[in-house]
């Protein structure tokens, strides 16, 4: 895989190119994230970049949330509390946070553990989650607006994350499954392999579809991914690229 920090910078730049071209009507348009406008999605991305900055600074209290709220419910409440900013101010806020978050995470020494939602992550893994979140929410913006956002080799980070966190996803769903490997075709036609080659279960198909299933932007049953072996179908059903 490419350097994750350089690829996070590239993902920011990719999305920036989209946001910079939006007019006021587009900012106010519904996104594919239920109940959120395009502006709401960018508020959320700005907020989570600011959380990444706080995490790198050791401010674990930034992740406190009311008991009983899911991650999605907490995020929705935070977004609702900060609506009303102009598109120009919101874009500047997101840009500042993206730049500062990348610098803060990149500067963390090896061995650092950063608090993040339900656990702690290495700086490289946190950077990977930022790629995954920005990519998924970029789709929430661009798909309803019929704007291009082509898949890139940066999806390899997201596919790795989805495979790596399968045990977490299954445990969160109260399910169990044995080892599953993935054989995915990247946007450039190269083969990406994750997991034990000897695993008796395998998920095969396009990396873009695999990542969309993990981001819950594509139902597994509507994808062309092949799930072979005793554990692949259940793993695919619960695949996710983000924390609950």
Domain finish residue from 87, 117, 145: 145
The answer to whether residues 32 and 94 belong to one domain is: yes
> Average pLDDT of 193-211?
97
Q: Examine the pLDDT at 60 and tell me if it is beyond 80.
A: no
The answer to whether residues 123 and 215 belong to one domain is: no
DSSP string, the chain: ---HHHHHHHHHHHHHHHHTT--HHHHHSB-SSTT-BHHHHHHHHHHHHHHHHHHHTT-GGGG---TT--HHHHHHHHHHHTTT--HHHHHHHHHHHHHHHHHHHHTSPTT--EEETTEEE-HHHHHHHHHHHHHHHHHHHHHHHT------TTHHHHHHHHHHTHHHHHHHTT-----EEEEEE-TTS-EEEES-TT-SEEEEEEHHHHHHHHTTSS-GGGS--EEESTTHHHHHHH--SS--
The answer to whether residues 61 and 98 belong to one domain is: yes
The answer to whether residues 104 and 183 belong to one domain is: no
The answer to whether residues 139 and 220 belong to one domain is: no
CATH of the domain at 186: 3.30.1050
The answer to whether residues 195 and 120 belong to one domain is: no
Reference 155, options 122, 123, 182; nearest CA is 182
Q: Give the number of other Cβ atoms within 10 Å of residue 42's Cβ.
A: 25
The answer to whether residues 136 and 42 belong to one domain is: yes
CATH of the domain at 117: 1.20.120.450
The answer to whether residues 165 and 115 belong to one domain is: no
Domain finish residue from 101, 120, 145: 145
> Average pLDDT of 15-19?
98
Q: pLDDT of 68-125, one tens digit each?
A: 788 888 899 999 999 999 999 999 999 999 999 999 999 999 899 999 987 889 999 9
Give 172's pLDDT tier (boundaries 50, 70, 90).
confident
> Average pLDDT of 15-31?
98
> Average pLDDT of 216-230?
96
The answer to whether residues 48 and 110 belong to one domain is: yes
The answer to whether residues 110 and 184 belong to one domain is: no
The answer to whether residues 30 and 133 belong to one domain is: yes
Look up the pTM and report it: 0.94
Q: pLDDT of 189-198, one tens digit each?
A: 999 999 999 9
The answer to whether residues 187 and 97 belong to one domain is: no
Query: 81 lies in which domain range?
Result: 4-145
Total count of domains within the chain: 2
> Average pLDDT of 9-36?
98
Domain finish residue from 95, 112, 145: 145
> Average pLDDT of 142-146?
98
Lowest mean pLDDT across 50-59, 130-139, 148-157? 50-59
């Amino acid at each position: 895989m490419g350097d994750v920090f350089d690829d996070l910078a590239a993902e920011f730049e990719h999305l920036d190119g989209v946001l910079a071209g939006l007019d006021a009507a587009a900012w106010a348009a519904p996104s594919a994230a239920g109940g959120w406008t395009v502006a709401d999605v960018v508020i959320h991305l700005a907020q989570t970049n600011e959380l990444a900055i706080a995490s790198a600074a050791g401010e674990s209290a930034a992740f406190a949330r009311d008991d009983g709220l899911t991650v999605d419910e907490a995020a929705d409440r935070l977004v609702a509390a900060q609506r009303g900013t102009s598109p120009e101010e919101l874009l500047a806020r997101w840009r500042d946070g993206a730049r500062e978050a990348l610098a803060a995470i990149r500067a963390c020494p090896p061995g650092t553990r950063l608090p993040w939602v339900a656990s702690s992550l290495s700086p490289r893994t946190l950077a990977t989650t930022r790629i995954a979140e920005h990519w998924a929410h970029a789709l929430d913006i661009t798909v309803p607006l019929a704007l291009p956002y082509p898949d890139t080799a940066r999806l390899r980070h997201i596919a790795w994350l989805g495979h790596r966190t399968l045990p977490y996803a299954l445990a969160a769903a109260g399910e169990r499954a044995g080892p599953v490997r993935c054989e995915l075709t990247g946007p450039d036609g190269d083969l990406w392999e994750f997991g034990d080659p000897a695993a008796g279960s395998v998920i095969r198909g396009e990396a873009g579809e695999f990542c969309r299933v993990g981001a819950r932007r594509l139902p597994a049953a509507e994808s062309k991914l092949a799930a072979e072996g005793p554990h692949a179908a259940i793993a695919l059903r619960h695949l996710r690229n983000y924390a609950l």
